[in-house]
Structure 1
Amino acid sequence: MQLFRKTHNAEATASANRQNLVLPDNLPCYMIPYGRNLKFYGREAELDEIKTVLDPTPQSDDLKVLSICGLGGVGKTQLALQYANTMMESYDAVAWIPADTQAILVRALAMFAAKLGLMKDGSEDDLQAVQKVRDWLSTAGRRVLLVFDNLEDVQILSQVWPWAGNGSFIITTRSPAVASGRARCVLHLKSFETSTAVKVLNELTGIQALEESEKQAAIEICQSIGGLPLAIVHMSSFIQDRGSTYEEFLDLFKKHAERILASSQTQVDYDHTLYTVWDSSMQSLSTNAKTLLSLLSFFDPNAIPERFLTNPQNQITDPRFEFLSDDFAFGDAVSELITKASLVDRLTSAKSISMNRLVKIVSSVRVPEEERTVYFNTTIQMLSNAFPNTWDSRVDQQGHGFQSWETCSAVVAHVSSLMVLQEQYGLEATNTEAFAELVFRIGTYLWESEQPLTAKTFFEYGLHLGIDPESRVYAHVYRLLGHIALDIAQPRAALAAYQRAYEVTELLDGPESIAVGEVLDSLACSCAEIGDVLRARAYLERSDEINQAQNGRTSSRTQAIFALAYLRGHEPEEALDALNLCWRLQGKTGKEIKYSQYPKHAGDIVLYARIKFALGQKDEARQLVLRSIEMRRGIFSSKGPRVADSLFILARMLEDEAEENAAAKMYREIIDMNCGSAEMKGHLARSLWFLAGVEGRLGRADYASDLRKLANEERAKIMGREHLDEDTDEAFMSLVGWMLW
């Protein structure tokens, strides 16, 4: 092979000499459109990689070719420019060749030939000039760098590609297929990670955020634009022009993203704005690929499972979406979005599609107004079929959807995206009830998986879609809002929600219905949490009467809440009897409950432990609490509210046994668990307060005083507190529900 290359090179040189190729005498020769960018940030590692691959110093008979591939605006051109400018003196000649089309390429190469001095006179045409550049590259033996910028068709390089020589070539392109057509080394350029994006934003704006709110705003800005370098440049210019803080700009961007994007101007060294950078790519797409891109823009841009789009159960009749049911046609459309312009990425292992957040915004804006409702309804239908429908099923157990939590979690962000678009464009679903139900399913999943505050926003959003206030759906939503209120230590708010659910349920099903009995159980639970045990028992007795009349027996749910009410009323023996009856009605033994994967059974074990402790069986109680911690860590987040609650109960038991150091360790573990989530604020404040008590008894009065101050500060951050802010154990205990099932 080496012998062939040398022979071919010699023949080519002889041929070139016969053609009277003029050897240039005006080296070095540099043709670079823009100078060095003094505000080049965040690509140091990539720049080093290019330097390594294209290093012109070693003697070699091989061309060194590197392609930079990625989404428009990701910084391919800027990276190539930075290399060309910083390494210019290492080469005898450097030429920047725009390669958008054949005509543009040829004209640029002709200019390079003239600048090199390859043209004897003005008689040669551009194509002859290209041939002379090719011959010179093949025979001159010079250190040459050519940058072919924005190449869309790899075939047009054939006319200038040398048959020999040791030059260095860079190709920038949006197409992965084009990138790999001539280069062994392909650098897939991605948008900045959030941390890098924030650093670049700070450098460009000159703002160094000191306050936490400003730092968070900078993070949200960079996340909102997907870390796209071109967007960061434009946003920084906008911020500087307006003299805005990050918080001010973020508020403006949330309200007027389209107008801000439309106002972006071209840069000195880049010819596109945020609205035009993908124009040619999007316009060149096939009909199916355009439809797919528009559809994807209604989903969250991160990890869109392909099964959502191609599910046969979708039964979409609109002919524009027929290709989704044809795996070959669908694959073609996805491939086109990837290979033509890097508009999306595909994670093969997960069979999911992702897109830059800014591509989503621009793509959704490009959907004609009269077609948005079609895409909106289609996405609702797809997500409804992807999400297990358990939210309004009547079963003996709450949290009944836990077995499908993993599936549910994949849908949440996509429904959130629909909600944002619905408000942004004033869209109305053709089937409002179907959209509301989808939102309620998400809310139920979020509540079951220890995200009650987020769940609440979904339920409240769904209610504003125009649900009939005298429907079963309406009643069920208010019952779930009551459950959420209990989870965030707002039992009076829960009572009000349950009363609303009771009124509608009684109207629809009658006062003696099983459905009314279920709501009575919930009313009893809120009363027990408030401490009104007598009223709780009255509700339970009424529920029991209904169950006996309708089913001939009590319900396990009623007996579980009886156990709670009895224990709250300092009657542990009766509480134990009620809890045992609850399990028998489920056909379960205590041992089976202890090793169950069902979330509410972990709560049963907590209640069981507290009953045992109240009965004086303290060793068994502690073992049961330890088991509940194990169960809850296996089911929920290891740093979530229910694990924190079990740890707190164990700490209180240890305190009761005068094991102060062990109790303090438990409290500290809860404090260390705090991840900033609103759901954990009550647990944090409560643990700080009780740790202060332990530290005070251990003789560390100053430390205890600091802890109490922190406890008060954290308590003040909790919204919707129903108890007076007193410096008492009772007041801090009220920050968390008395019983978290």
Structure 2
Amino acid sequence: MQRTFNRVHYIRQEELYHIHKTLSDADGRGIAVLCGMGGIGKTQLAATYAECYSVDYSDIFWLDAKSEDSAKMSYVGMAKKIVQEHPSASQLSKITTESKEDEIMTAVKRWLNHPRNTRWLMICDNFDDPAAEDIHQFLPEANHGSVIIITRSSTVKIGCRIQVRNLDIADSLEILSDTSLRKTAINDPDAAELAKQLDGLPLPLAMAGAYISRVGISFTDYLRLYNASWLRLQQPSLGVWSYMDRAPMSTLQLSFERIRQESELSAQLLQLWAYFDNQDLWLELLREGSSGGPVWLRQLTEDEPSFKQVVRVLSNYGLVEVNQPRASAIESEGYGLHSYVHMWTVHILNEKWKVEIAGLALECAIQRRLLRHAARCWSFVQNGMVDDDGRAWALHSLGYLYAQQGKYGDAEKMFQRALHGEERASGPDHTSTLAIVNGLGLLYADLGRLHDAEMMYQRALQGYEKALGPDHPSTLSAVNNLGLLYADLGRLHDAEMMYQRALQGYEKALGPDHPSTLSAVNNLGLLYADLGRLHDAEMMYQRALQGYGKALGLEHPSTLSSMDNLASTYRNQGQWKKAKELHVQVMETRKTVLREEHPSTLTSMDNLASTYRNQGQ
């Protein structure tokens, strides 16, 4: 995700020069480590540097180094940026929307490692726990490019450390002047006193200025409110960490009290944010849990204009940033909280843990875009911070999400926990339980644990036969899964029996031209080809091709896959002309529908080349 920032006019000339000298004078890769307390302006400094020296770099990337999950999500964003701006990047030609994050990260690193690609800058934000994560795993291996690491920790053992210190009075007044929309602040003694009390910290300075502009009070009045807020925060129950936190904590408390007066929904959204990751919160995410949630959440997510108005209140007080929208986004834009503000929502604003809200967050986190939120919610479950009774479906969905990203260990734990919960709630033979059993079977098959997969598929099949009958689509899906498993095990006779049963059942239940029926036809064609029964394979592929073409169109991936299979069968039969004609048709269609560098297009090219080689051409 690319970062966006509220524009505040201040320049740390000394630090900017130090960063530039560190990176430009490096022999090989230059690494600058911006170190300082939360709210000191490290991220803003990195953004200012990137803007000032953008001409020195071919590409600038932002990476969220808070965790492995957030880093991988950043690499997904990098891949999209590279493909858009460098369409000829061959290292990313095989990346599709279905690619796992590990594959995407490897491909992006390969692109960054290229010996002719040396002028990139990567900014690694939020690397605050060096003991938990190794920064090297997030970086390309090649000894070139430039890296800025942003951290609150003083124990980062890589690169040149640059301490980001508090602003002087002049720069502090610049921020107050810009954010309060009062140019007279530069020469106002009350503004100077406020800047002094806020200790040169950009985050509270910006929030104070936003408050003054929004409410329309003087610097003197804000200073009085600020001191009163600090007195309240010194109550033991609030547990303020240290005197160093006085400025950000007091300004946050003041802003929240005012926000609550303006919009109760905005205040409740801020409290809810503690149970999600601080980055990329958006409307559709909250809608996932609104149906069974409290009334205020349904009001919050009723429509996009209302939601934006609620968020705008938080933005007006400098608490929320708008994430840069993605070119291909179909959801609404996302919003982010400064990491220090998020820490305040967790430890101060939500002093008491609310199990029901944690459960609500868990129910929302079931999509790929939600991976960072899903990781936080899964930690709630593992640490016993949320009651997962009645939430088996959410854990089941989380399991699928993690499995799709190759996180098989956690996915299995989620499936097992969901299975035990659903067995308790609905019984071992309920269809909801059997759906989780089938999901576990798919996971074990992906892991190569084929015996475990067979046990799950057999249990699902027997349960579905008992609950729904032998010809129900769910039953037939379990039959088909067993066929695929037997084929992988080399038990081809058993596989044929399963495929035949699935085909007959689908024809009866859904009709001869339904996609599920045609999938069973195609599976039989693959099996017959493996058995060397090429005439039978040809008949199956012809039927699948005609059915898919009629139902889905000639450009659909399933149609083209059947056409490719039929062409390969013709080639194996020595029918060179037919094989060549179909391979060319598949290749040209994929070039048009996908792109020339797409993996499926490249496979078509390779199949056509094999046909020419077999002919001695």
TM-score of the superposed pair, with normalisation by structure 1: 0.45
Partner of 2:414: 461
Cα pair 2:464 2:475 within 8 Å, conserved: yes
Cα distance between partner residues in 2 of 1:512 and 1:330: 46
1:351 aligns with 2:333: yes
3-state SS, counterpart of residue 354 of structure 2: helix
Out of 334, 341, 363, the position equivalent to 2:311 is 334
Shift of 1:567: 0.6
Shift of residue 293, structure 1, vs aligned partner: 2.1
Q: Structure 1 154/423 Cα, relative in aligned 2: closer, same or farther at 3 Å?
A: same
C-alpha distance in 2, partners of 1:39/1:302? 26
Per the alignment, do residues 584 and 160 of structure 1 end up closer, same or farther by CA in structure 2, a change over 3 Å counting? closer
Distance 1:298 1:632, change over 3 A: farther
The change in CA–CA distance for 1:462 and 1:356 in structure 2 (over 3 A counts) is farther
Give the conservation status (yes or no) of the 8 Å contact 1:373–1:427.
yes
Query: How many corresponding residue pairs?
Result: 414
Match of 2:417, as an amino acid?
Answer: H
Q: Secondary structure at the match of 1:344?
A: strand
Match of 1:580 in 2: 542
Instruction: Note if contact 2:518-2:544 (Cα within 8 Å) is conserved in structure 1.
Output: yes
Q: Describe the superposition over 1:428-449 as per-residue Cα deviations: whole angstroms up to 9, x where unpaired.
A: 2463134235436646xx75xx
1:509 corresponds, among 448, 455, 468, to 468
Structure 2: distance between partners of 1:351 and 1:552:
42
Q: Indicate the SS of the match to 1:616.
A: coil
Shift of 1:299: 3.4
| 1:284 counterpart residue number | 255
Residues of 2 paired with 1:577 and 1:520: CA distance? 22
CA deviation vs aligned residue, 1:443-474 (integer Å, no higher than 9, x gap)? 6xx75xxx5x3478546524323232433234
Q: 1: distance between equivalents of 2:20 and 2:248?
A: 20
What stretches of structure 2 of length at least 5 have no aligned partner?
Answer: 1-11, 23-36, 47-167, 190-194, 214-238, 327-331
Q: Which amino acid aligns with 2:271?
A: S
Alignment of 1:209-608 (within 5 A): 271-272=244-245, 277-278=248-249, 280-282=251-253, 284-285=255-256, 286-287=259-260, 288=264, 289-309=266-286, 314=291, 316-319=293-296, 322=299, 325=302, 330-331=307-308, 333-345=310-322, 347=324, 351-357=333-339, 359-366=341-348, 368=350, 371-380=353-362, 409-424=368-383, 426-429=385-388, 431-439=390-398, 442=401, 447=404, 453-454=406-407, 457-458=410-411, 460-465=413-418, 466-468=421-423, 469-480=428-439, 482-483=441-442, 494-511=453-470, 513-544=472-503, 546=505, 555-584=517-546, 588=550, 594-596=554-556, 599-608=557-566
Paired letter, 2:374? V
Kindly state the Cα deviation for residue 500 of structure 1 after the two structures are TM-superposed. 3.7
CA distance in 2, matches of 1:582, 1:314: 41
Question: What SS does the corresponding residue of 2:483 show, helix, strand or coil?
Answer: helix
Cα 1:472–1:412, aligned 2, differ >3 Å: closer, same or farther? farther
CA contact (8 A) 1:422 1:428 kept: yes
Q: Could you say what the CA RMSD is over the residues aligned between the two structures, in angstroms? A: 5.2
Task: Give the Cα separation in 1 of the matches to 2:527 and 2:572.
Answer: 14
In the TM superposition, residue 347 of structure 1 has moved relative to its aligned partner by 4.6
Shift of 1:482: 4.8
- For the 8 Å contact 2:289–2:364, the answer to whether it is kept is no
Judged with a 3 Å threshold, the aligned counterparts in structure 2 of structure 1 residues 298 and 624 are, in CA distance, closer, same or farther, namely farther
**Partners of 2:546 and 2:571 in 1: how far apart?**
22
Verify the 8 A CA contact 1:345 1:355 in the aligned structure 2: no
Q: 1:505 to 1:295 in 2, by over 3 A?
A: same
Query: Which of 41, 45, 54 is the equivalent residue of 1:74?
Result: 41
Change (3 A) 1:160 1:498: closer
Change (3 A) 1:441 1:626: farther
Q: State the 1:512 CA deviation.
A: 5.5
Partners in 2 of 1:38 and 1:307 — Cα distance?
A: 40
For residues 347 and 526 of structure 2, the distance between their equivalents in structure 1, rounded to whole angstroms, comes to: 54
Deviations along 1:110-149, one digit per CA (max 9) or x if unpaired, are xxxxxxxxxxxxxxxxxxxxxxxxxxxxxxxxxx983445
Which stretch shifts more, 542-551 or 529-538?
Answer: 542-551
Residue type of the alignment partner of 2:416: L
| 2:579 paired with 1:612 | no
Judging changes above 3 Å, is the alpha-carbon distance between structure 1 residues 334 and 511 closer, same or farther for their aligned structure 2 residues? closer
Please report how far the alpha carbon of residue 574 of structure 1 lies from its aligned counterpart in structure 2 after TM superposition: 0.5
Counterpart code for 1:352: G
Residues 459 and 367 of structure 1, relative CA distance in 2, 3 Å threshold: farther
| 3-state secondary structure, aligned to 2:275 | coil
One-letter code aligned to 1:562: L
**Conserved in 1, the CA contact under 8 Å of 2:399 and 2:411?**
yes
Q: Distance in 2 between matches of 1:486 and 1:630?
A: 34
Q: 2-side partners of 1:320 and 1:621: how far apart?
A: 59
The residue type paired with residue 175 of structure 1 is M
Number of the residue aligned with 1:174: 206
Identify the structure with bigger relative contact order (alpha carbons < 8 Å, sequence gap 6+). Answer: 2
Work out the CA distance in 1 between the residues paired with 2:588 and 2:436: 31
Alignment of 1:627-638 (within 5 A): none
What's the CA shift string for 1:72-115, capped at 9, x where partnerless?
23249999xxxxxxxxxxxxxxxxxxxxxxxxxxxxxxxxxxxx
CA contact (8 A) 1:528 1:568 kept: no
* Distance in 1 (alpha carbons) for counterparts of 2:272 and 2:308: 15
Q: Quote the offset at 1:537 in angstroms.
A: 1.4
Deviation per CA, 1:304-333, whole angstroms, max 9, x where unpaired? 223444799747434477455487875554
Whichever residue aligns with residue 354 of structure 1, its letter is: G
Alpha-carbon deviation of 1:600?
3.6
Q: 1:540 to 1:360 in 2, by over 3 A?
A: same
Q: Is 2:207–2:251's contact at 8 Å kept on the other side of the alignment? A: no
Distance 1:176 1:641, change over 3 A: farther
| Matches of 1:180 and 1:315, distance apart in 2 | 39
Whole-Å Cα distance in 2 between the matches of residues 281 and 585 of structure 1? Answer: 63
Q: Percent identity?
A: 13
Structure 1 position 160, deviation (Å): 6.9
Shift of 1:353: 0.9
Q: Distance in 2 between matches of 1:494 and 1:654?
A: 40
Asked if 1:161 corresponds to 2:207, the answer is no
SS of the residue aligned with 2:429?
coil
* AA aligned opposite 2:354: R
Whether the aligned pair in 1 keeps the contact of 2:438 and 2:478 (CA below 8 Å) is yes
Instruction: Show the counterpart of 2:28.
Output: none
Q: Which has the larger radius of gyration?
A: 1
Quote the offset at 1:427 in angstroms: 1.3
Contact 1:459–1:477 (Cα < 8 Å) also in 2? no
8 Å CA contact 1:471–1:508 kept in 2: the answer is yes
What is the identity, as a one-letter code, of the residue corresponding to 1:464? R
Measure, in 1, the Cα distance between the counterparts of 2:449 and 2:580. Answer: 28
* Partner deviation per Cα, 1:557-588 (whole Å, 9 max, x = no partner): 33222111111100111012122233455572
Unaligned runs of 5+ in 1: 1-34, 46-69, 80-143, 164-168, 182-261, 385-407, 660-741
Counterparts of 2:342 and 2:585 in 1: how far apart (Å)? 46
Deviations along 1:288-312, whole A, 9 cap, x unmatched?
4442223234334433223444799
CA gap 1:370/1:460 in 2 versus in 1, 3 angstroms: same
